Structure 1
């Protein structure tokens, strides 16, 4: 699943030449009479330079294989991938949003890679990528990269308010935001329908968006734990002037933050690049910290977006396709990808490779606590109408939270059961 600012941040990432993903050797750059693999990569996921270097190095290491890397648009990709999986000439490797794996696996057209998990260091994978890639006990999606939200803050406004360090707990976060919320300064800009952020709060309180029991999915926004998460969101949202009936895209929260009178937003770190582009005076004045949790020293649970890699069952080059996945998911390529694109690597042990980047380090710390949306093939249909957004607006505008949660949960249950 792609989350706000990932594509934009990727477009702003450095496109300088990369270190090769594996040790190069002499030889031709393409196969002579060998396998030709088709690899689908989503637009703006990685730079062209990264892909060119990966292709060249991979082909040098696998002289009987040539790669045809094709860039795909996100718009309409669900239907295109579903059709490809049902065909006899499917691509060999496909990048998919991490929460799309269950939808594609349900078609029966995705290769089960469970037997490769140990070789790929699966025990070290980020839970927000590995979990959605595993359906009915089988690992169909191999984690590639992750990105998640952190708090981006204005260091000057923090200093002006006498705040010397970011908060480490929810309660401290509220106290600091109240202190920042003075005069013309908004303590935080939090739109009323930022439902990915709400999901993190619900998970932190022990709730769920939906739960599965006996093979049936049901909406779960009405549980006491989920209601506590919404109550925290309501409390935090009130400490700013964010609209109650729209998300972070309307208006673009980067533009709001760029005006210089907002102390905090919740965004992927790449959002800071867009803010600085809109207001160069803020360059070097933005800081980052993980969304705080209930316990000091432990970041709050956050939604993890990003991509997994799948191999269609119809691929005629199963072994070679796996070699592509193995290379992209391997330590050296992961290190290059993280440093170049400011993504979180697919393994928790690799977080150290980005610790010198404040924004990405904060993101990696939160990713260790990351979660993904309910692993149902029908979840994409829930997001299409997204009753969670309507639920949030209803609560923020004075409706009874329990009744609003009941209605939204009913809508989720109906969609998941369709």
Structure 2
């Protein structure tokens, strides 16, 4: 937390006031050291009474560490913390975060924020998490296999996607590799149809995979998955889909653009052959919905210098440094209006287009219980092996409801 430095240390600002230190926790890998150095230099130059102390944190065990920091009154604690967008609700639930709604409405242009970052940071119309950066899935495809199959244009709608994928199943090629338990990809199809994984019924969360809309999303997943040889009883990491794509004639996978680097590393012959397009939607006027991962910035309620903490958030989430971070790290900026900042990178541009339709998992801390023993995966496998979708969706929805009723320890 902010701490006043001794005036005898020789670092007084020109104004003659005491300098204060703002402690910022950023996660490992979120920003390069060069970005951090440049940001620190400019921020301190523009805020003559503030010093930045940016401390890099490991993702492993960060939840417990943040919870401890939010309860601690130590002057060494953080004033600003980067947290995963889907984690914000658990910290709000503990009452340890500052409400930043006023700044969000007045200064930070919240109307243009990516919904997949903004919505998890909001609770009861109060904004606690400030969107920082995003990443989401796109379709990575092989240009040579598209050309060989006579496919000149990437699909813009889900129906076109099915037609194109079927055409790609020629000459021994696999039109798409889609593992049977890739539930993040399924979620996008469910959202496209107007459904959801779970909904809040006035304080009580209930699984909703058995709604007609959610069932339509599962039916599209079934049709697409059947056009490839992905295992029905495993997710995209078992085996890693990048390795499958690199080692065989697979025309498409659904993954974050950064996966392309792993593919080319595994198979250098694919250098220059990989392309990207947003996951197609129901209509050609906008891409399909996708799960949005990424980070928000939060301010602990126990900071002793709200003004300084807000200044850091304002700078990091503001247009200049947010677009600089996106360009440096191949992220999606936090606003739809900043998408042009990454238009020069094909994969990131496709990701940014999809992020405008992005969503996050249900904004309740108890969602962690669902993912711990994920009934959605079992539901998907059962449907893909011929079980009745409605029966299995009801079963999975009941299990989700039960998991959401158990408080997270």
- So what's the TM-score if we normalise by structure 1? 0.91
Supply the distance in 2 between the matched residues of 1:280 and 1:308 (Cα, whole angstroms).
35
> Which digits, 9 at most, give the CA deviation of each residue in 1:96-140, with x for residues without a partner?
111111111010000000000120111111111111111111000
User: What is the root-mean-square deviation of aligned Cα atoms in Å?
Assistant: 1.6
Residue equivalent to 1:81: 66
Q: Are 2:346 and 1:355 equivalent residues in the alignment?
A: no
Supply the distance in 2 between the matched residues of 1:174 and 1:121 (Cα, whole angstroms).
38
Q: Are 2:100 and 1:110 equivalent residues in the alignment?
A: no
Supply the distance in 2 between the matched residues of 1:363 and 1:356 (Cα, whole angstroms).
12
Supply the distance in 1 between the matched residues of 2:318 and 2:25 (Cα, whole angstroms).
18
Task: Show structure 1 runs of 5+ residues with no match.
Answer: 1-26
Shift of the alpha carbon at 1:63?
2.2
Supply the distance in 2 between the matched residues of 1:216 and 1:273 (Cα, whole angstroms).
43
Supply the distance in 2 between the matched residues of 1:217 and 1:32 (Cα, whole angstroms).
51
Supply the distance in 2 between the matched residues of 1:395 and 1:70 (Cα, whole angstroms).
46
Asked if 2 retains the 8 angstrom alpha-carbon contact of 1:145 and 1:346, the reply is yes
Supply the distance in 1 between the matched residues of 2:230 and 2:237 (Cα, whole angstroms).
12
**TM superposition outliers: structure 1 runs of 4+ over 2 Å:** none
1:97 aligns with one of 68, 74, 84: 84
Asked if 2 retains the 8 angstrom alpha-carbon contact of 1:39 and 1:70, the reply is yes
Shift of the alpha carbon at 1:183?
3.6
**Any residues of structure 2 matched to 1:130-279 within 5 Å, and which?**
130-279=118-267
> Which digits, 9 at most, give the CA deviation of each residue in 1:266-289, with x for residues without a partner?
011111111111111111111111
Supply the distance in 2 between the matched residues of 1:108 and 1:61 (Cα, whole angstroms).
32
> Which digits, 9 at most, give the CA deviation of each residue in 1:296-349, with x for residues without a partner?
131111111110000000111211011110000010001111111111100111
Counterpart secondary structure, 1:152: strand
Supply the distance in 1 between the matched residues of 2:236 and 2:37 (Cα, whole angstroms).
34
1:389 aligns with one of 377, 383, 387: 377
Residue equivalent to 1:302: 290
Residue equivalent to 1:374: 362
**Any residues of structure 2 matched to 1:112-131 within 5 Å, and which?**
112-118=99-105, 119-131=107-119
Residue equivalent to 2:40: 55
1:342 aligns with one of 330, 339, 345: 330
Shift of the alpha carbon at 1:189?
0.6
2:57 aligns with one of 59, 68, 72: 72
Asked if 2 retains the 8 angstrom alpha-carbon contact of 1:153 and 1:263, the reply is yes
Counterpart secondary structure, 2:229: coil
Supply the distance in 2 between the matched residues of 1:334 and 1:389 (Cα, whole angstroms).
35
Farther-moved stretch of structure 1 (170-179 vs 55-64): 55-64
Supply the distance in 1 between the matched residues of 2:44 and 2:369 (Cα, whole angstroms).
39
Shift of the alpha carbon at 1:260?
4.4
Farther-moved stretch of structure 1 (219-228 vs 402-411): 402-411
> Which digits, 9 at most, give the CA deviation of each residue in 1:238-285, with x for residues without a partner?
111111111111111111111240000001111111111111111111
> Which digits, 9 at most, give the CA deviation of each residue in 1:189-234, with x for residues without a partner?
1111111100000000111100111211100000111011011111
Supply the distance in 2 between the matched residues of 1:68 and 1:339 (Cα, whole angstroms).
24
Supply the distance in 1 between the matched residues of 2:267 and 2:376 (Cα, whole angstroms).
33
Counterpart secondary structure, 1:59: helix
Counterpart secondary structure, 1:229: helix
1:281 aligns with one of 255, 269, 278: 269
Count of equivalent residues: 391
Shift of the alpha carbon at 1:32?
8.8
Residue equivalent to 2:21: 36
Counterpart secondary structure, 1:117: helix
1:319 aligns with one of 302, 307, 320: 307
Task: Show structure 2 runs of 5+ residues with no match.
Answer: 1-11
Shift of the alpha carbon at 1:156?
0.2
Asked if 2 retains the 8 angstrom alpha-carbon contact of 1:100 and 1:380, the reply is no
Asked if 1 retains the 8 angstrom alpha-carbon contact of 2:23 and 2:79, the reply is yes
- So what's the TM-score if we normalise by structure 2? 0.93
2:30 aligns with one of 40, 45, 48: 45
